[in-house]
């Protein structure tokens, strides 16, 4: 779905397996092809539409489109696309997801237009002692505004509110959250010669969506070293020669 902006449509549907209300869907033209990848069709039909007339079948193909689509795997990023910082045996590589095409490829939606951006991040321990990131905190500064990294619940809430989604498959939502656990950046203990990679999400003003990373600074605070000392890393996201 690279670079596509399908029109939205509102379809009222009710069902025991769905969050009731009105759904705004963006992928009608590919819904049928995607059903086999995103849901168990017979089980979905049985649980969600036991009492819905046959005419509602057309709406069923749209339900899987109404939740955030997360990548199944964390992609590798070319070195020339990365911004890098290092301190005290800790190395951090990041890549701001900026282009509309990238968002459609990764998340099947241009998230900045609803006030949310993504950053690919990798933290490596090149020292001899473990480091603790359990209480570390990511933040994004754009101009005079600083935003903390969003939790999974905050990401999905912003997605549903921003796109005015009022109905979605409970099962599709559950699977999307499981994929987020797999591909989002997770804090924890980092042993020597190990790394932690994943996506971070931050709130922004939708009006700043075009070129948001040009004036952004990413910060990772409360990194606890093996000595017990704490340190902080800052990375300017804009490249010197964009």
Question: Does 101 lie in the same domain as 26?
Answer: no
- Give domain status of residue 159, yes or no: no
Q: What percent of the chain lies above the pLDDT cut of 70? A: 71
Question: Does 132 lie in the same domain as 39?
Answer: no
Q: What domain range is 93 assigned to? A: 79-149+185-236
Give the pLDDT band (50/70/90) at residue 237: very high
Question: Does 85 lie in the same domain as 60?
Answer: no
Question: Does 195 lie in the same domain as 97?
Answer: yes
DSSP 8-state assignment for residue 210: T
The pLDDT tens digits for 167-226 are 888 999 999 999 999 999 999 999 999 999 999 999 999 988 888 999 899 999 999 998
- Give domain status of residue 211, yes or no: yes
- Give domain status of residue 123, yes or no: yes
pTM recorded for the entire structure: 0.74
Identify the burial level of 79 via C-beta atoms within 10 angstroms of its C-beta, where 0-12 means exposed, 13-18 middle and 19 or more buried: exposed
Number of domains in the chain: 2
Question: Does 98 lie in the same domain as 218?
Answer: yes
Instruction: Give the pLDDT of residue 60.
Output: 40
- Give domain status of residue 178, yes or no: no
Question: Does 62 lie in the same domain as 86?
Answer: no
- Give domain status of residue 192, yes or no: yes
Of 86 and 43, the structure prediction assigns the larger pLDDT to 86
Residue 96 has pLDDT above 60, yes or no: yes
Domain ends where: 20, 35, 66? 66
Spatial contact of 199 and 116, defined as CB atoms under 8 Å apart: no
Instruction: Give the pLDDT of residue 9.
Output: 34
- Give domain status of residue 43, yes or no: yes
Report how far residue 114's alpha carbon sits from residue 99's, in angstroms, rounded to the nearest whole number. Answer: 15
Spatial contact of 216 and 237, defined as CB atoms under 8 Å apart: yes
Instruction: Give the pLDDT of residue 81.
Output: 92
- Give domain status of residue 103, yes or no: yes
Question: Does 192 lie in the same domain as 130?
Answer: yes
Question: Does 122 lie in the same domain as 193?
Answer: yes
CA distances to 32, 91, 132 from 124, rounded to whole Å, are 41, 5, 12
Q: Residue 138: how many CA atoms within 13 Å on its side-chain side?
A: 25
Question: Does 138 lie in the same domain as 90?
Answer: yes
Question: Does 144 lie in the same domain as 99?
Answer: yes
Spatial contact of 93 and 83, defined as CB atoms under 8 Å apart: yes
Residue 63 has pLDDT above 50, yes or no: no
Question: Does 43 lie in the same domain as 13?
Answer: yes
The pLDDT tens digits for 152-170 are 999 999 999 999 998 888 9
Spatial contact of 64 and 170, defined as CB atoms under 8 Å apart: no
Instruction: Give the pLDDT of residue 152.
Output: 95
Domain ends where: 39, 66, 93? 66
Q: In what order do the strands lie in the sheet with 90-96?
A: 83-87, 90-96, 116-125, 195-203
- Give domain status of residue 163, yes or no: no
Question: Does 144 lie in the same domain as 95?
Answer: yes
If you average pLDDT over every residue of the chain, what do you get? 78
Q: What share of the chain is helix, strand, coil (3-state, %, to 5)?
A: 30, 30, 40
CATH number at residue 214: 2.60.40.1230
């Amino acid at each position: 779905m690279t670079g596509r902006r399908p029109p939205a449509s509102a379809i009222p549907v009710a069902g025991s397996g769905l969050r009731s209300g009105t759904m705004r869907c963006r992928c009608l033209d590919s819904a049928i092809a995607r059903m086999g990848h995103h849901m168990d069709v017979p089980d979905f039909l049985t649980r969600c539409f036991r009492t819905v007339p046959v005419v509602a079948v057309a709406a069923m193909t749209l339900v899987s489109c109404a939740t955030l689509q997360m990548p199944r795997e964390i992609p590798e990023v070319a070195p020339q696309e990365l911004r890098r910082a290092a301190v005290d045996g800790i190395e951090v590589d990041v890549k701001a997801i900026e282009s509309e095409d990238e968002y459609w490829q990764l998340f099947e939606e241009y998230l900045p237009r609803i006030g949310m951006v993504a950053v690919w991040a990798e933290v490596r321990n090149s020292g001899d002692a473990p480091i603790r990131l359990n209480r570390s905190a990511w933040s994004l500064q754009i101009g005079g505004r600083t935003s903390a990294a969003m939790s999974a619940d905050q990401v999905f809430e912003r997605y549903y509110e921003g796109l005015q989604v009022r109905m979605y498959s409970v099962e599709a939502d559950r699977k999307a959250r499981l994929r987020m656990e797999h591909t989002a950046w997770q804090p924890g203990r980092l042993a020597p010669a190990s790394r932690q990679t994943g996506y971070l999400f931050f709130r922004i003003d939708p009006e700043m969506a075009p070129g948001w990373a040009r004036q952004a600074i990413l910060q990772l605070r409360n990194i606890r070293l093996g000595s017990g000392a704490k340190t902080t890393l800052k990375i300017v996201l804009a490249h010197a020669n964009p």
